[in-house]
């Protein structure tokens, strides 16, 4: 009897370039079978359409798995589809604006807020106990106020029904790092202001400063100005109200801190603070910090500029 020929399946390693990061991926393929298809080869519009059906919690978790899904899940198109799925009313409106949407609870009501017409995009959102603050890309900080308005003879509480410009020249701003907005009594704004070099002269020089505002009224209650040789790009808060530590990140990647007592900020008297180099910059002078984030009792320093985008939440005030 003749021997039956048995085909031998040989494996081969094929290198494929990842379209998102350019790295080469090794894929085991078998002869006679189709090549495996990566989701990264799908059109971006198709990927956005598929993942837009995920719940919000699952979408955020998917964005934390890798860099590719972080960029996709953080895209504007995905969140636009989610808002339209949760609130079909938006499909009938062909106007841009700001909306408040509750992602939890039984009633997922949608309320429209006033949109600052002078804003050059929306860089950061921060909800406080009573209001909402928005920073645009040219350094203008907007104060969206809530108020009681009359609708058909009935008084109703409306969120963000009017806005004012709180300040200009802002670089960054921060408030109490706790998630509960009831603790966000003050708003700390890192800004650049023109200061006179000599009193009585017209010559001036740009200096960085920190201005403290009451979130309830938008009134400025405190201001501290730094030497013109020190320029900062980010501000964070740590600690309790009586020992509030302000962390300031310089353009060179150094961390400075100062401590204030928030219970004394609204008192009409002079207040002296001392700016000191943080331990991480003192003992590791070669370390260049790109960005930072904090909660009430700890701080995270990031040295890789690429990872800084991962710290930005894809939702307002997250």
**pTM over the 0.85 mark:** no
Q: Which residues contact 19 (CB under 8 A, 6 or more apart)?
A: 40, 41
Q: Within a 13 Å sphere around the CA of 310, how many CA atoms are in the beta-carbon half?
A: 19
Token look-up 């990566």 returns 38
Intervals of CATH 2.130.10.10 along the chain: 122-195+206-303
CATH number of 39-86: 1.20.1280.50
Between 44-51 and 76-86, two packed helices, what is the crossing angle to 10 degrees?
40
Identify the pLDDT of residue 41.
Answer: 82
* Residue extent(s) of CATH 1.20.1280.50 domains in the chain: 39-86
Q: What is the pLDDT along the chain (318 residues), one digit of tens a residue?
A: 444 444 443 444 444 444 444 444 444 444 555 666 777 788 888 888 888 888 888 888 888 888 888 888 888 778 878 877 776 665 555 555 677 665 655 655 666 677 787 788 788 888 887 788 999 888 999 988 876 555 666 555 566 678 889 999 999 999 988 887 788 889 999 999 988 766 666 678 889 999 999 988 889 988 888 988 889 999 999 988 888 999 999 989 999 999 988 888 877 666 667 888 888 888 888 888 988 888 888 888 888 776 676 665 544 344
CATH number of 122-195+206-303: 2.130.10.10
Check if the beta carbon of residue 281 is closer than 8 Å to that of residue 287: yes
The pLDDT value given to residue 300: 86
């Amino acid at each position: 009897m003749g021997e039956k020929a048995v085909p031998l399946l040989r494996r081969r390693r094929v290198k494929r370039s990842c379209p998102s990061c350019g790295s080469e991926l090794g894929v085991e393929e078998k002869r006679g079978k189709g090549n495996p298809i990566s989701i990264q080869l799908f059109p971006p519009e198709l990927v956005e359409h598929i993942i837009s059906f995920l719940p919000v919690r699952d979408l955020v978790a998917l964005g934390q798995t890798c860099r590719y899904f972080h960029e996709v899940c953080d895209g504007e198109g995905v969140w636009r589809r989610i808002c339209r799925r949760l609130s079909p009313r938006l499909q009938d409106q062909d106007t841009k604006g700001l909306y408040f949407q509750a992602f939890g609870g039984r009633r997922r009501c949608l309320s429209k807020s006033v949109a600052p017409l002078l804003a050059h995009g929306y860089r950061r959102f921060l909800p406080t106990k009573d209001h909402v603050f928005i920073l645009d890309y040219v350094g203008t900080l907007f104060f969206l106020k809530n108020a009681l308005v009359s609708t058909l003879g009935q008084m109703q509480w409306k969120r963000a029904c009017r806005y004012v410009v709180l300040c200009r020249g802002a670089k960054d701003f921060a408030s109490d790092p706790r998630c509960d907005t009831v603790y966000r009594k003050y708003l700390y704004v890192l800004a650049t202001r023109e200061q006179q070099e000599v009193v009585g002269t017209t010559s001036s020089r740009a200096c960085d400063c920190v201005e403290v505002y009451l979130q309830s009224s938008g009134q400025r209650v405190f201001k501290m100005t730094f030497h013109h040789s020190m320029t900062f790009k980010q501000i964070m808060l740590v600690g309790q109200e009586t020992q509030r530590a302000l962390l300031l990140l310089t353009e060179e990647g150094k961390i400075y801190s100062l401590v204030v007592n928030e219970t004394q900020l609204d008192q009409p008297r002079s207040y002296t603070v001392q700016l000191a180099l943080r331990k991480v910059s003192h003992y590791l002078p070669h370390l260049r910090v790109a960005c930072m984030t904090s909660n009430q009792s700890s701080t995270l320093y990031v040295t890789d500029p690429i990872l800084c985008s991962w710290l930005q939440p894809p939702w307002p005030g997250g």
